[in-house]
Amino acid sequence: MSSTNLNKAVSPEAGPDATPQAHDSASSKSSGWAVFTFFMIGFVGSLLAGWILFPELLYSQKNQPIDFNHAVHLDAVTDGCDSCHYFREDGSFSGMPDLAACEDCHQEAMTDNPEEVKFVEEYVTPGIEVPWLNHSKQPDCVFFSHAAHVQGADMSCASCHGDIGTSEHTRVYEENRITGYSRDIWGQSISRLGKPGPGDPRPMKMNDCAECHEDETGHKGACFQCHK
């Protein structure tokens, strides 16, 4: 407290009110360390928020309406993936099978499996299409030809969609709250660094298309190839 006394001494005219003010002025000066500390709090805080909290907030978690077992179906059918996800006569790809396709076998429940019973009761009997959540759905501005990749370039389904065909349960569908699309499009890694593990679906942003095209064809491709 010596500085206070000193102040008092050099300014005898100063009233008693001046004392607390004078007392604060030294410690209230923003010290460089303190500023740095606050900067770092903000810096680290936003790093944590951006890397950990943000992905948590960005995606909502949804379950598929029916816990579909791909493995069982793949065993039961003769034509592999093509049995349900087939090319139409005009070359367009059927995508997710509609109810009519499911009904070919599931007019009535074939097993006691509660998921199958639920499927028949809630969708087949009343004739309602199942609102499947599509992990690979792209915006309308993207034109993608399955025929060019699967039939033309002889790629397997798994090379993009991962080992979905052998899964026994559906995965949680992480929906982007802003865009409504699946997290799979951006990729599980929020930083988009690293490669997906073997058997994981591949990210499907434009850069992913371009990257693969560059590797495989030597060229990223032109805008109009996908944006018609």
Partner 1 sequence: MKINRRNFLSYGTALVLGGAAGSMLTPAPWKLMDDLAIWTQNWPWTPVPEDGPVSYKPSVCTLCPGGCGINVRLTGGRPVKIEGLRDYPVNNGSLCPMGFAGLQYLYNPARVISPLKREGKRGEGKWTPVSWDEAIAAVTQKLADLRAAGRPESVACITGSDHGAMDAFVSRFMTAYGSPNYIRSATAMDAMEQAIDLTQGQQGTPVFDIENADFILSFGAGLLEGWGSAGRMLNLFGNQKSAKKLIQIEPRLSDTAARATQWIAIHPGAEGALALGLAHVIIKESLYNKYFVDNFAFGFSDWVDETGRAREGFATWVKAYGPEKVSGLTGITPEKIMSLARDFAHAGKPIAISGRGNDDLPGSMDETLAIHFLNALVGNINKTGGVSALPETDYAKWPEINIDETASKGLQQARIDGAGGDEFPNTRFLINRLPGILLAAGESPIQALLVTDANPLYALADAENTKKAFDRIPFIVSFASFMDETAAFADYILPNHTHLERLQVVPATAGVARQIIGLAKPVVKPVYDTRHIGDTFINMAGALGGFVAQAFPWKNYEAFLTESMGNQWEELNQKGRIEIDHSLPDPMAFAFNTTSAKFEFYPTARSTKRQAGDSALPTFTPVPIEGDPNRFKLTLIPYDAMRLAGGDIANVPFLTKILDDTVLKKQTGFVEINPATAKKLGFKEGDSAKLATPKGEAMVRVHLFEGIMPDVIAMPRGLGHTAYSDYLSGKGTNVNALMGSVEDPTSGLDMAWGIRASLTRA
User: Hey, what amino acid is at 39?
Assistant: F
Nearer to partner 1, 88 or 219 (CB): 88
Q: Is residue 201 within 8 Å of 195, Cβ to Cβ?
A: no
The residue (of 79 and 140) whose beta carbon lies closer to partner 1 is 140
Which pair of tokens denotes residue 162? 């991962």
Least distance CB 172 / partner 1 (angstroms): 19
Q: Pick between residue 193 and residue 222 the one whose CB is nearest to partner 1.
A: 193
Pick the closer one to partner 1 by CB: 54 or 80. 54
Q: Please say which residue, 47 or 172, places its beta carbon nearer to partner 1.
A: 47
How far apart (Å, rounded) are the C-alpha atoms in residues 97 and 217? 31
Specify whether the CB–CB gap between 128 and 99 falls below 8 A: yes
Q: In angstroms, what is the minimal distance from the CB of 223 to partner 1? A: 16
Burial of 162 (0-12, 13-18, 19+ CB in 10 A): buried
Number of helices and strands in the chain (H, E): 12, 2
CB 218 → partner 1: shortest distance, Å? 27
Which are the contacts of 66, defined by CB distance < 8 A and separation ≥ 6? Answer: 115, 118, 119, 123, 130, 170
Applying CB under 8 A, the residues found at the interface with partner 1 are 24, 27-31, 34-47, 49-51, 54-55, 58, 88, 90, 92, 94-95, 139-141, 176, 178-181, 186, 190-192
Q: Cα-flanking dihedrals φ and ψ of residue 7, to 5°? A: -60, -45
Nearest approach in angstroms of CB 216 to partner 1 is 25
Q: How far is the CB of 36 from partner 1 (least distance, A)?
A: 7
- Cα–Cα distance, 81 to 123 (Å, whole number): 23
Closer to partner 1 by CB, 46 or 63: give it: 46
Taking the complex as a whole, how short is the minimal distance between the CB of residue 215 and partner 1, in angstroms?
23
Contact (Cβ atoms closer than 8 angstroms) between residue 64 and residue 96:
no
- The answer to whether residues 23 and 4 touch, using CB atoms and an 8 Å cutoff, is yes
